[in-house]
Amino acid sequence: MSLTDPNQPLTTSAGTPLTDAARDHLWGHFTRHSVYESVEDGGKGAKVPVIVRGSGHHIWDAEGNKYIDGLSGLFTVQVGHGRTELASAAAAQAEQLAYFPLWSYAHPAGIELAERLAGYAPGDLNRVFFTSGGGEAVESAWKLAKQYFKLTGKDAKTKVISRSIAYHGTPHGALSITGIPDIKTVYEPLVPGALKVPNTCFYRAPEEFLDDEYAFGQWAANQIAEMIESEGPDTVAAVFLEPVQNSGGCFPPPPGYFQRVREICDTYDVLLVSDETICAFGRIGSMFACDDFDYVPDIITCAKGLSSGYSPIGAMIASERLFEPFRDGTTAFTHGYTFGGHPVSAAVALANLDLMEAEGLNQRVKDNAPLFKAQLETLLDIPIVGDVRGAGYFYGIELVKDKTTRETFNEEESEKLLRGFLSKALYEAGLYCRADDRGDPVIQLAPPLTIGEAEFAEITAILRTVLTEASALL
């Protein structure tokens, strides 16, 4: 492709403008392609945004426009864009050993990264199974739970519990665990035995708990116990929970919630899986967010920030107890991925963790998170801003029709607000973030961990301008 003039649209090697080639050949993920079809063909005639460069917390498109990356790509680029240290680590590893699988063999980068992750993980979570991404890690965790209980004589323990609206990935198993009906129905029948309980959105808590977050958390946790009892404890294998639930708009756990969930899982011999695909590696503050909320799971699933997105990698980290049945005889975890623990990705992940430690990014998040939240809370005076919530560098802004009643927008209004105006307006104003209506309408922010108070103010200023304009349209 032509990169000679960053202010001109780039072309493919065949001379096709990238936006045209993307429209005609690239199948985007979670993408409404009608937006990019020509008006003559019934589309909206928009151009596919083509991002060509990143540096720090900024990205540039093919036309030379500059944006704040308010979402770290996709909750991923913890250390910011353009880090030559990570590119160099990838190149050095590729020159030495570009690829080898972890199927009965090992390589130094994979070994070192496994040891490093085990050192960060709480309790006895010492066994690291690598994947290519977060959905695969969740898939692996369900498989492990099933096989573990079969090996320990509890064959009927196969079901899993997760929360309403929660997103846990797109493979058939992970999608079954996911609690978003609209992205599941077209793929049914899915894997049976995936059960749902209420999430921890305090803003939408039952009326009797609106003034007592702790009581709400206990109620929400006890819904898990009730589901286990209803299904039969001898049939439930695991509970999958994000430390801060992503989908729906950043639901942090109420005080005492995870402690009660841990008690419930111990009582019924059910595994607690902390799905930290988004929340790990400093997003909330610690390397693993379960430490931020003071609980020890049986399994951690993670990805994204592990390599800051510079190379695909994920992991399932399991306790020694779960590994124990696999030590002897002919037993094996009959599961794997070609690119799980890829040596180049592992080397990049190690370099990424080195950067995070050297630059004190975890502590930076812990120190600055209250400032970020305080900045965003200044938006609460805008008529359509109902709630600001989250933790660390991970926040959701819920939009409402009526702040007094907390009435949300109907489907038509949400479509007009989010896709008809906000997504485009925020982008044109210089902020890449997420306008999401998989639950109630929200704007989500998860910037690189390298930013600070000045950038918080800049992000908030853009949001204020656009949200004020959005309020006037309704």
378 in a structural domain: yes
Q: Are residues 370 and 269 in the same domain?
A: no
Q: What is the pLDDT of residue 4?
A: 42
pLDDT digits (tens, 9 = 90+) for 173-218: 999 999 999 999 999 999 999 999 999 999 999 999 999 999 999 9
Find the CATH number of the domain harbouring 418. 3.90.1150.10
158 in a structural domain: yes
Asked if residue 310 has pLDDT above 50, the reply is: yes
Q: What is the pLDDT of residue 1?
A: 38
| Both structure tokens of 207 | 């009326």
Q: Containing domain of residue 328, as a range?
A: 84-358
Q: Are residues 262 and 167 in the same domain?
A: yes
Q: Are residues 299 and 179 in the same domain?
A: yes
1 in a structural domain: no
How many C-beta atoms lie closer than 10 Å to residue 324's C-beta? Answer: 13
The residue with greater pLDDT, 13 or 411, is 13
Q: Are residues 354 and 366 in the same domain?
A: no
Domain boundary residue, one of 309, 335, 358: 358
Task: Report the C-alpha gap between 95 and 73 in whole angstroms.
Answer: 28
pTM > 0.85: yes
Q: Check if the beta carbon of residue 279 is closer than 8 Å to that of residue 75.
A: no
Q: Are residues 279 and 412 in the same domain?
A: no
pLDDT digits (tens, 9 = 90+) for 414-444: 888 888 889 899 999 999 998 887 778 999 9
Q: What is the pLDDT of residue 3?
A: 45
Q: Are residues 432 and 450 in the same domain?
A: yes
Domain boundary residue, one of 306, 327, 358: 358
Name the least confident of 74-78, 293-297, 403-407. Answer: 403-407
Domain boundary residue, one of 328, 358, 388: 358
Q: Are residues 354 and 368 in the same domain?
A: no
347 in a structural domain: yes
Which residues, other chains included, contact 314 with Cβ-Cβ below 8 Å and sequence gap of 6+?
130, 131, 132, 133, 134, 136, 137, 277, 301, 302, 303, 304, 306, 340
Task: Report the C-alpha gap between 359 and 361 in whole angstroms.
Answer: 6
Mean pLDDT across the stretch 284-294?
A: 98
Asked if residue 166 has pLDDT above 90, the reply is: yes
Q: Are residues 354 and 395 in the same domain?
A: no
Asked if residue 9 has pLDDT above 60, the reply is: no
31 in a structural domain: no
42 in a structural domain: no
Asked if residue 135 has pLDDT above 50, the reply is: yes
Mean pLDDT across the stretch 120-136?
A: 98
Peptide bond into 370 cis (omega under 30): no
Beta bridge partners of 388: 397
Find the CATH number of the domain harbouring 134. 3.40.640.10
Q: Are residues 74 and 168 in the same domain?
A: no
Asked if residue 88 has pLDDT above 90, the reply is: yes
Task: Report the C-alpha gap between 21 and 105 in whole angstroms.
Answer: 41
111 in a structural domain: yes
Q: Are residues 66 and 98 in the same domain?
A: no
- How far, rounded to the nearest angstrom, does the alpha carbon of residue 111 sit from its chain's CA centroid? 25
pLDDT digits (tens, 9 = 90+) for 317-367: 999 999 999 999 999 999 999 999 999 999 999 999 999 999 999 999 999
Q: What are phi and psi of 190, to 5 degrees?
A: -95, -170
Strands 194-197 and 159-163: parallel
How many C-beta atoms lie closer than 10 Å to residue 60's C-beta? Answer: 18
Asked if residue 301 has pLDDT above 70, the reply is: yes
Q: What is the pLDDT of residue 459?
A: 98
- How far, rounded to the nearest angstrom, does the alpha carbon of residue 133 sit from its chain's CA centroid? 11
pLDDT digits (tens, 9 = 90+) for 231-245: 999 999 999 999 999
Asked if residue 7 has pLDDT above 60, the reply is: no
Q: What is the pLDDT of residue 411?
A: 84
71 in a structural domain: yes
Task: Report the C-alpha gap between 60 and 89 in whole angstroms.
Answer: 24
Helices (H), 102-256: 108-120, 134-151, 172-177, 213-231
Domains identified in the chain, total number? 2
Task: Report the C-alpha gap between 440 and 369 in whole angstroms.
Answer: 24
- How far, rounded to the nearest angstrom, does the alpha carbon of residue 57 sit from its chain's CA centroid? 18
Mean pLDDT across the stretch 407-411?
A: 89
Q: Check if the beta carbon of residue 120 is closer than 8 Å to that of residue 291.
A: no
Beta bridge partners of 273: 240, 299
Which residues, other chains included, contact 289 with Cβ-Cβ below 8 Å and sequence gap of 6+?
243, 244, 274, 276, 279, 280, 283, 392
Mean pLDDT score of the chain: 95
Q: Are residues 407 and 304 in the same domain?
A: no
Q: What is the pLDDT of residue 436?
A: 81
Q: Are residues 429 and 319 in the same domain?
A: no
Task: Report the C-alpha gap between 413 and 410 in whole angstroms.
Answer: 5
